[in-house]
Structure 1
Amino acid sequence: MVPFVLEKANDIEAAIASAVAGGRYIAGGTTLVDLMREEVERPERLIDINALPLRDIHVDGGDLVLGALATMADIAAHPDVQRLHPMIAESLIEGASPQLRNMASIGGNLLQRVRCPYFRMLDAACNKRNPGSGCAALEGLNAGHAVLGTSSHCVSTHPSDVAVAFVALGAIMRVRGHQGERSFAVEDLFRLPGDTPHREHTLLPGELIVEIRVPSAPYGRRARYLKVRDRASYEFALVSAAVALEVEDGVIRS
């Protein structure tokens, strides 16, 4: 791990200003710290955002609102989540061990890096880590990689389980940056690899996820998340699916 400076942000605007100047946000750090140890990530400055007021979980006009710093564990155990959108709790429990769920924030979960072994091998070709170097997974170990949305430059897949549930439920995320706030569908956060796999998401430099809003919908209680993996204990998905159905008089309407 290379040396770095750690700053503690006490308000959102200060955090954004530091990030625009080149800092990296850190909350639970369950992915970032590992990558720093392996020197895949080498940030010179980290911005600790754990003191920011972004942990609230509440219902607003029927919509479920999740603060970006709420932990996976707190969200999965929250009665409003279990009542309105049990699939979210299901996907979070399936997504990580209890220790990781207690540490990881929901915003960080959506921004975690890929689990491709070649991404973490500094001597392996990886267009995501080193653009233009090639993709060792194309002809190497790729059992856990994507079957849809791939390109000749990258076949890795995003590892978040709850992202799949959010997309099925039409969740909206609100972000804030130095140019103000904007909202967009969680689905639009993620970029297909194309010929620029190193560009993983659509956030602008310094933008901070503030909250995720899951709209009220009759199918929220009739939704399920299914994950196929190599073992029953904590493991990343080989394939996963989230399905939400609107049923009326025993008939699937949508």
Structure 2
Amino acid sequence: MCPPEHFTVDYAINPWMDTTVPVDAALAVKQWDLLRTTLHGLGHTVHVLDPVPGLPDMVYAANGAFSVDGTVYGARFRHPQRAAEALAHQDFYATVGTWRFAGPEHVNEGEGDFAYLPAAYGGLILAGYGYRTEPAAHAEAQEVLGRPVVSLRLIDPAFYHLDTALAALDDRNVTYYPGAFSPAAQRVLAQLFPDAVLADRADAEAFGLNLVSDGRNVILNTEASAMADKVRAAGYVPVPVELTELKRGGGSVKCAVAELRP
């Protein structure tokens, strides 16, 4: 995770960013810290990436890379405003643990557009494209990570990253909003995950799919109360955390958390 010490909305690169509404910087830090302490309280280790002045979106740490079994596929951002974040994440992996880092040739935005299910079909990567990550990065990720990659086309600009429209609930199942995907991608998801928890547009617009799950506890933002009910009905434990300020930049729980898979 990366604290939002420099978080602002000074430019708009997704439909959720409104430069006319100022960010409450102190509240953003308070809410981020609550998310961090919540993860700690659930027994998870949280590494903190130092924020860099001039990179206000670094708080969305999930976008900086994608790791599977000790290998890291680095990010290459679509928009120049975020390009320098990729190097900060690469430096982090060089100093923490024993990672094998692979720099990308193609535009991809890390876990923003990649999700991993280690127990589904022997280890499956779901990958989104349509707004940020290039389809060519999916093939590149498959070569780097040695796991099959399923490409899913996003068709609604409100859900510009995969992690705004789909999330892994455990090692083999997902939740997703069908309307964010092309008809073909919807058919693929229905075949792969017949027991998926289906969300509606209201859930997705509340960033209820931008969640982090450890297989039992599902951490999601407090605005997504209907989504919390759905994951509870599916047998998981919803853990609401207020993240209203981070939503101003187009992200929520998952955007703020890069999952490390040594």
| TM-score of the aligned structures, taking structure 2 as reference length | 0.28
Judging by fraction of residues, say which structure has more helix: 2
| TM-score of the aligned structures, taking structure 1 as reference length | 0.29
